[in-house]
Amino acid sequence: MKKNIFGSHRARIQYLLQRANLTPEELAFEIGLLRPVQISQILRGENPVSPFLALLIHHRYPAYSIRWLLTGEGAFPEAPDREPLPITASIVGRWEITGACDFEENLCRWKKFLPFSDRHEREFSRDGWCTIFQDDEAVRRMPYTLYPDSQQLAIGGCVSLVTRLDALILDVIDWSDWWVSGLVKFSYRRIR
């Protein structure tokens, strides 16, 4: 592992833009942001790369690790960029949570939670509603939208990044401020 010569957040984003031949607006669109404000603020030196923005960039451009985007340390992005994995199944159905991890920003790694003491499930209907169940009791119902092009899932006012969706597995990463602050990765198993 070698130290990267791009010590600032600004330099790392400029390098990504040059290498991918993108404008800030095009990068924002590519990673699913509605506006390029976050990218522009980094380029002006006003803000650092947030963990969620690093996640969005890494998901779209896997050669750029979250650790490198956040700290400039780790493997230098020399591998060719590739497309994210496509969504290969419908989200409609009932899903049980099987695991959760939070992102330890200071160590740039995922840390697994202990198993939940009760059952947590989500059911996505064809008409755009997500019902959240806890121990088989419906506790909340919210509208949802799945955006296959950007691989984002909006439930109520929260947007998650879908990292895997196939016939049996759903993996999402959320930016959370409630029970754990920061990036949280959830894994679900289809039960219906």
Tokens (6 digits) for 61:
């451009």
- Give residue-wise pLDDT tens across range 106-116: 666 777 775 66
Q: How confident is the model at residue 1 (pLDDT cuts 50, 70, 90)?
A: very low
% of the chain beyond a pLDDT of 90: 26
The 10 Å Cβ neighbour count of residue 118 is 8
**What integer pLDDT is reported at residue 189 of this predicted model?**
94
C-alpha 94/C-alpha 108 separation (Å) is 32
Q: Which residues contact 22 (CB under 8 A, 6 or more apart)?
A: 16, 30
User: What's the whole-number mean pLDDT along residues 177-192?
Assistant: 75
How far the first Cα of the chain sits from its last, in Å, is: 44
Asked if 108 and 71 count as a contact pair (C-beta separation under 8 A), the reply is yes
| Tokens 């590519």 -> residue | 30
Confidence of residue 79 (pLDDT cuts 50, 70, 90): very low
Q: What is the mean pLDDT of residues 8-13?
A: 88
- Answer yes or no: are the C-beta atoms of 141 and 129 closer than 8 Å: yes
Q: pLDDT tens digits for 138-151?
A: 999 999 998 887 77
With a cut of 70, say whether residue 181 has pLDDT above it.
no
Once rounded to an integer, what is the mean pLDDT over residues 29-47? 88
Q: Tens digits of per-residue pLDDT, 49-68? A: 988 888 888 888 888 888 78
- The sign of the dihedral angle between the CA atoms of 107, 47, 26, 170 is positive
Q: Is the pTM of this model over 0.85?
A: no
Higher pLDDT, 169 or 116: 169
80 pLDDT more than 50: no
Domains parsed from the chain with CATH numbers: 9-71 (1.10.260), 93-190 (2.40.128.20)
The overall average pLDDT reported for the chain is 81
| Residue 181: burial class (beta carbons within 10 Å; 0-12, 13-18, 19+) | exposed
Between 27-31, 85-89, 97-101, 169-173, the lowest mean confidence (pLDDT) is in: 85-89
pLDDT of residue 5: 57
Question: In whole angstroms, what is the distance from residue 79 CA to residue 150 CA?
Answer: 22
